Amino acid sequence: MFAQRHEREIKQKLEQQEETALNITETYNSLQQEVEIKTKKLKKVCKSLWVTVHTMLLATTYISFNSCLRLYARVNKVQVSFGVQCLYTCISIKVVQWLSGRALDL
């Protein structure tokens, strides 16, 4: 009788342990699936974010490049204008000096 009761208790403990192990396995599998789903979503979000950042960088680079070109054109225009003014000034001074020298010779 004691042996039968002891055997029943051992069977119950074994069944409980098997049930617990089954619950743990089911929970683990469920969590693993959830991790896989969230990993896929995260990869999709990261890819979308990378595309957005890359697009923004390209747009910024394009805008910066165009701004640099416009600035270069303005500087070049100012340099040309300044050079022409200097040339006129130098020519004017030389002409005035030449004319002054000619006037003294007369």
Count of domains observed in the chain: 1
Q: 13: domain range?
A: 1-106
Say which range, 30-34, 39-43, 46-50, 65-69, has the weakest mean pLDDT.
Answer: 65-69
Query: Is the whole model's pTM more than 0.75, yes or no?
Result: no
pLDDT in tens, 49-87: 888 888 888 888 877 788 878 888 888 787 777 776 766
| DSSP secondary structure string for all residues of 17-75 | HHHHHHHHHHHHHHHHHHHHHHHHHHHHHHHHHHHHHHHHHHHHHHHHHHHHHHHHHHH
